[in-house]
Structure 1
């Protein structure tokens, strides 16, 4: 293998480290977050965007199905325990 290819492989390996096999042989993706609260906010935004996209008229989805999906996403959004996530952030900061 040429020096150029070795260098390219070494650099590519650094980019591919985010996805690796765990001890069970499953691939895992590591995502870095500033805090537990940030994770909750990200999930909430994901649910909110999904809910809003259901009402775009471009898709030919029956209204009943869209309402059911919207309600399910709304329920899932309400399950995000923001006070507990904030508490975990406080505990993490205290333990440093």
Structure 2
């Protein structure tokens, strides 16, 4: 049986994860050790600008967290490694 508090929590977070937010979150879920914004954009989306905004929203809401940094293989710049936070819903 599902507790009433769990149902309420699910209703509160469900609307946030729709469309591109949900898609980006699910892409990060596929990478156990995390990935950078640039990697997700290159591997799946092809447009970094469509990833960064959604990632910033997911970070703010606690769906993603920064777990480190690494040098980007193409640009040579430092990039944050992000990892999906498993959410109970």
TM-score after normalising by structure 1: 0.26
Which one has a larger percent helix, Structure 1 or Structure 2?
Answer: 1
Which one has a larger percent strand, Structure 1 or Structure 2?
Answer: 2
TM-score after normalising by structure 2: 0.28
Which structure carries more relative contact order (alpha carbon 8 Å, separation 6+)? 2
